[in-house]
Amino acid sequence: MRFSLATAVGLAVLVGSAAAVDVNPLPAPQQIIWGSSGPIAVSQKLSLSLPGASGANKKIVEAAFARASKTITDLRWTPAAVERPIPTFEAFPTASDSSAPVERRAPGGGRVTKAVVKIADYSADLQQGVDESYTLIVKQGSDTLEIVAKTVWGALASFTTWQQLVIEHNDGLIVEQPVRIVDKPIYPWRGIMLDTGRNFLSVKKLREQIDALALSKLNVLHWHLDDTQSWPIQLKTFPQMTKDAYSKREQYSHKDVADLLGYARARGVRLIPEVDMPGHSASGWRQIDPEIVTCDNSWWSNDDWPKHTAVQPNPGQLDIANPATYPAVQKVYKELSSIFTDNIFHVGGDELMTNCFNFSSHVNSWFAQDASRTYADLAQHWLDNALPIFNNKTNTGGKPRQLVMWEDVVLSPDMPGKVVPKDIILQSWNSNANIKTLTSQGYKVIASNNEFLYLGMCESLECRVKH
């Protein structure tokens, strides 16, 4: 499930009569009402008023508005390719094309020189379900951009919309018509997943991704930190784990993480970490203790798919029957929980390969102790021992932590019948039908279907197996 993407855009509802405009804010606002009285000039530098502003989040609002304003004045955008209705034509030879460019009058309906942003709650944290709604109004004859938002995070979304509304015309900046926008996201989780275990990305490139998310009003960067191929994040508890980074250059320090968290928060983006366990786990973990990893020295497919130990090279899984595995998991999770600030942590759970466990003496011994045991029982053994670690507040700095796991923990055909608590959010990547299956069982679901939203996926089955 690499490079998953789960995103939603608002439903556009056009109300009232309006003149044609070139701009097309995206994602489409829930409601946008254009006037028809003509363009309104916009000053190159608006004064900003924040009635009732308080707390640390005030600086976030000020900085975000300054970024949007700078982009508007530096870019001086003129729509070049605009969305138009499908044209209709009169009988030949006098065709009429409704896609003709908009002819703009000179601004004559006031000049926007200031922005007044009213935020009801400056203290609301950037967490799952925070209110991101806003209303944006530019009135004919008014000198004020009016923004009303429940929280700072809705205000940041409104600045992105404002940035899309202001265009250049005759060497000046305008909004094409008076406008009122009422908007909020349909879904609270809208984001992309980036895999830096298989494909290292520099901090600079991660910042670029965060910028792109913010400009698209996406609010989650799901950071798949590691995989069997590499362990790039430095830990004080086990500094030897980065021996399995691709290189000394391709690592992330605590400072790198803190800087990215601050950069993302300033743009309304949540940084949610994933450590994929117990599958996709070899690099890093084997540096703690090679005995807590199984099958990492196997041939991943044996040139015989029924004997495969992974869906791609290189193989490796945590040995979930080895008691030494769980103290290592506890220490790694505790340290990462201390540096990531979101209330959600993704703990993986996908693509457990039963053949991989055949290489473990601990697993073989565990099965020998009770002939009735199955691989589903083995997976349940992982859940029964790992979930108390993940849910223990001493491992999360005393803060509540909600877990995300891949849908495989419930739906894997190799390991059916496991008991997975309903308070775990499940990320679905295999089939749209699975979403209904999981929600009907009472789970909350993140939709990231590999047929539609999987940017690193090939079309053929062979390519899927190899990648």
Mark whether 222 and 291 lie in a shared domain.
Answer: yes
pLDDT score at 100: 57
With respect to residue 116, please indicate whether it lies within any of the assigned structural domains: yes
Mark whether 342 and 443 lie in a shared domain.
Answer: yes
pLDDT at 42 over 80: yes
With respect to residue 85, please indicate whether it lies within any of the assigned structural domains: no
β 172-175/270-277 pair status? unpaired
With respect to residue 234, please indicate whether it lies within any of the assigned structural domains: yes
Mark whether 343 and 312 lie in a shared domain.
Answer: yes
pLDDT score at 399: 84
With respect to residue 392, please indicate whether it lies within any of the assigned structural domains: yes
> pLDDT band at 302, cuts 50/70/90?
confident
CATH number of the structural domain spanning residue 367? 3.20.20.80
Mark whether 168 and 313 lie in a shared domain.
Answer: no
Mark whether 243 and 362 lie in a shared domain.
Answer: yes
With respect to residue 89, please indicate whether it lies within any of the assigned structural domains: no
With respect to residue 381, please indicate whether it lies within any of the assigned structural domains: yes
With respect to residue 87, please indicate whether it lies within any of the assigned structural domains: no
Give 381-438 pLDDT, tens digit per residue.
999 999 999 999 999 988 889 999 999 999 998 888 889 999 999 999 988 899 999 9
Mark whether 144 and 167 lie in a shared domain.
Answer: yes
pLDDT at 300 over 80: yes
Mark whether 411 and 386 lie in a shared domain.
Answer: yes
User: Which sequence positions are flagged as catalytic?
Assistant: 227, 280, 351
pLDDT score at 11: 28
Amino acid at the residue 417: G
Tell me, rounded to whole angstroms, the distance of Cα 62 from its chain centroid: 24
Q: Which domain holds residue 419?
A: 191-466
Number of domains composing the chain: 2
Mark whether 409 and 285 lie in a shared domain.
Answer: yes
Instruction: Average the pLDDT over 195-215 and give the result.
Output: 96
Mark whether 151 and 208 lie in a shared domain.
Answer: no
Mark whether 364 and 427 lie in a shared domain.
Answer: yes
The helix (run of H) or strand (run of E) holding residue 381 is: helix 375-391
Beta strand segments in 196-258, E: 220-224
Mark whether 240 and 388 lie in a shared domain.
Answer: yes
Taking the C-alpha atoms of residue 330 and residue 65, their distance in angstroms, rounded to an integer, is: 41
The candidate with the shortest Cα–Cα distance to 233, out of 192, 290, 273, 291, is 273
Mark whether 112 and 210 lie in a shared domain.
Answer: no
Give 317-356 pLDDT, tens digit per residue.
999 999 999 999 999 999 999 999 999 999 999 999 999 9
Give 243-264 pLDDT, tens digit per residue.
999 999 999 999 999 999 999 9
Residue 419 CB burial class (10 angstroms; 0-12, 13-18, ≥19): exposed
Taking the C-alpha atoms of residue 269 and residue 282, their distance in angstroms, rounded to an integer, is: 30
Identify the domain boundary among 159, 183, 207.
183
pLDDT score at 415: 82
Identify the domain boundary among 183, 204, 225.
183
With respect to residue 418, please indicate whether it lies within any of the assigned structural domains: yes
Identify the domain boundary among 137, 161, 183.
183
Partner residues linked to 271 by β-bridges: 221
> pLDDT band at 19, cuts 50/70/90?
low
> pLDDT band at 3, cuts 50/70/90?
very low
Q: What is the pTM of this model?
A: 0.89
pLDDT at 211 over 60: yes
CATH number of the structural domain spanning residue 46? 3.30.379.10
Are the CB atoms for 273 and 403 separated by under 8 Å?
no
